[in-house]
């Protein structure tokens, strides 16, 4: 159904039964039924909540909400659970405070900063290399989900703490944040355990304040930034919340993306063949440098297509502050807005054969020809994920190195089952027989 049909109705079409949408499998399945049945703007009556909900699945409407009239839309339902875990970092904050924090965090993700971190990311992958070589020579089956979880967590922790990371490991006889990769519940019990680690972050901040110069890592740059209006630096509580946000958001989404990318390379042999040809032809001797990432363009396209098929955040929410219009329909003040990249990325009007895995959808020409707001794995507009470039560089460096050495043979059922929770995980760990190339 097009966005212009049924405009004579006072409200958009939608299911008769009342329902409160959540980031869970039931909502995921209902959207699979509702979107083909009711179209690109769907009204859902609340069951327990007071406000009506609207599912938005057209890029014109999404551009309006996330960009053109973004000031009218704040964070929506469901972020209470995230705030419990992360505090008031830039993922959950709103209004003037969010704008201030965003300005002060943004420089940490400047292209030059990420370029400077590329060598450290390569060293992390190189330390993993001999372990994978030994496992391949032994004919082992590895849990690639656990491996990418561990890898992504180490990368983001070293990106935040740099030289302090080794001391954290020594003092705690291991990685105190490691439980994050073993427990995906994100419930109150885990939140309490995670927030307890804010004391560790506070100690590092206190020690760093004694220094005359800060390391050029994420934490150091955030500590050195000053508000452009007041000249004030972030308070310790603000820094802690942003660090805790980076640890979770920066590791989970990257791990999920690398997990699904290895899966795609294992089950799509023609894609894998072209990928291996590209990494083998790279001018780098061992690991790709930051300046050589341009040679890994098809690798980037593979990751982009993974983000289309398996967007880590599969459901975004917003709250309409004031009344608004989407097409011919009125969106009342207080309405809950739901946007699902998973279903948007399969919109048949914009994605021919949407279930087919085709990285060439992300060639330069194809991207230019397509609606800009039909691919939003990192959201869009002012609240676009601040770490999107870092995540892409991290993935290209990993696959640029490991793709020269290994191929993976998937050991499970095809297709792998999805677990649509806060992030779009694989329901079960993906097991791969690792082979040397």
Q: Which of 8, 36, 44, 62 is nearest to 326 (CA)?
A: 62
Averaged over successive runs of 10 residues, the pLDDT of the chain (437 residues) comes to 47 97 96 98 97 98 98 89 83 94 97 97 98 98 97 97 95 92 73 88 95 93 95 96 93 96 98 98 95 98 98 96 95 97 98 98 98 97 96 98 98 94 94 98
Q: Which secondary-structure segment (H or E) carries 367? A: helix 364-369
pLDDT computed for residue 3 by the predictor: 44
- Domain housing 105: 25-436
Q: How many residues belong to the chain?
A: 437
pLDDT computed for residue 85 by the predictor: 80
Do residues 248 and 85 touch, judged by C-beta distance below 8 A?
Answer: yes
Distances (CA, A) of 156 to 44, 105, 162, 216, 391: 38, 15, 9, 14, 10
End-to-end CA distance of the chain: 48
**Exposed, middle or buried, 8 (CB in 10 Å: 0-12/13-18/19+)?**
exposed
- For 423: left if phi > 0, alpha if psi spans -120 to 50, otherwise beta; the answer is beta
Q: Is 18 among the domain residues?
A: no
pLDDT computed for residue 319 by the predictor: 97
CA distance 247 to 243: 6
Alpha helices in 217-319 (DSSP H): 218-224, 236-267, 269-281, 297-309
Residue with structure tokens 């300046």?
291
Return the ∠ at Cα 344 (arms to 342 and 348), rounded to 5°. Answer: 115
Q: Is 3 among the domain residues?
A: no
**Exposed, middle or buried, 431 (CB in 10 Å: 0-12/13-18/19+)?**
middle
The total of structural domains in the chain comes to 1
pLDDT computed for residue 353 by the predictor: 98
CA distance 387 to 108: 9
CATH number of the domain at 115, please. 1.10.630.10
Q: Is 31 among the domain residues?
A: yes
Distances (CA, A) of 339 to 56, 76, 118, 320: 5, 11, 33, 13
Q: Is 16 among the domain residues?
A: no
Q: Which of 78, 391, 91 is nearest to 241 (CA)?
A: 91
Q: Is 19 among the domain residues?
A: no
Cis peptide before 247 (omega within 30 of 0): no
């Amino acid at each position: 159904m097009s966005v212009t049909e049924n405009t004579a109705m006072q409200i958009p079409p939608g299911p008769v039964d009342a329902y409160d949408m959540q980031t869970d499998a039931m909502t995921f399945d209902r959207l699979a039924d509702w979107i083909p049945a009711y179209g690109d703007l769907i009204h859902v009556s609340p069951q327990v909540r007071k406000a009506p909900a609207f599912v938005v699945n057209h890029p014109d409407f999404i551009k309006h909400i996330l960009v053109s009239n973004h000031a009218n839309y704040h964070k929506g339902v469901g972020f209470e659970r995230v705030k419990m875990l992360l505090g008031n970092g830039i993922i959950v904050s709103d209004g003037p405070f969010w704008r201030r924090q965003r300005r002060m965090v943004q420089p940490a993700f400047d292209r030059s900063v990420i370029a400077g971190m590329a060598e450290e990311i390569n060293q992390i992958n190189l330390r993993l290399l001999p372990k994978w070589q030994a496992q391949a020579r032994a004919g082992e089956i590895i849990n690639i989900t656990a491996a990418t979880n561990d890898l992504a967590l180490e990368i983001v922790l070293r990106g935040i703490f740099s030289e302090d990371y080794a001391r954290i490991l020594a003092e705690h006889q291991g990685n105190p944040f490691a439980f994050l990769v073993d427990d995906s519940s994100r419930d109150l019990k885990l939140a309490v355990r995670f927030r307890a680690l804010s004391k560790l972050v506070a100690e590092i901040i206190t020690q760093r304040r004694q220094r005359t110069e800060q390391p050029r890592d994420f934490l150091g740059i955030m500590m050195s930034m000053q508000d452009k209006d007041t000249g004030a630096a972030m308070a310790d509580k603000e820094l802690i919340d942003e660090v805790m946000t980076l640890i979770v958001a920066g590791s989970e989404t990257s791990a999920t993306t690398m997990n699904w990318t290895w899966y795609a390379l294992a089950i799509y042999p023609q894609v894998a063949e072209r990928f291996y040809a590209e990494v083998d032809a790279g001018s780098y001797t061992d690991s790709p440098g930051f300046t050589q990432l341009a040679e890994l363009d098809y690798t980037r396209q593979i990751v982009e297509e993974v983000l289309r098929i398996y967007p880590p955040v599969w459901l975004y929410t917003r709250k309409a502050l004031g009344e608004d219009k989407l097409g011919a329909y009125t969106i009342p003040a207080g309405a809950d807005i739901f946007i699902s990249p998973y279903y948007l990325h399969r919109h048949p009007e914009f994605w021919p054969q949407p279930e087919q895995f085709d990285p060439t959808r992300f060639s330069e020409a194809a991207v230019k020809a397509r609606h800009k707001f039909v691919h939003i794995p990192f959201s869009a507009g002012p609240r676009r994920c601040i770490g999107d470039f870092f995540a892409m560089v991290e993935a290209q460096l990993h696959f640029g190195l490991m793709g020269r050495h290994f191929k993976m043979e998937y050991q499970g059922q095809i297709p792998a089952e999805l677990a649509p929770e806060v992030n779009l995980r694989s329901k079960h760990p993906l097991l791969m027989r690792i082979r040397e190339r």
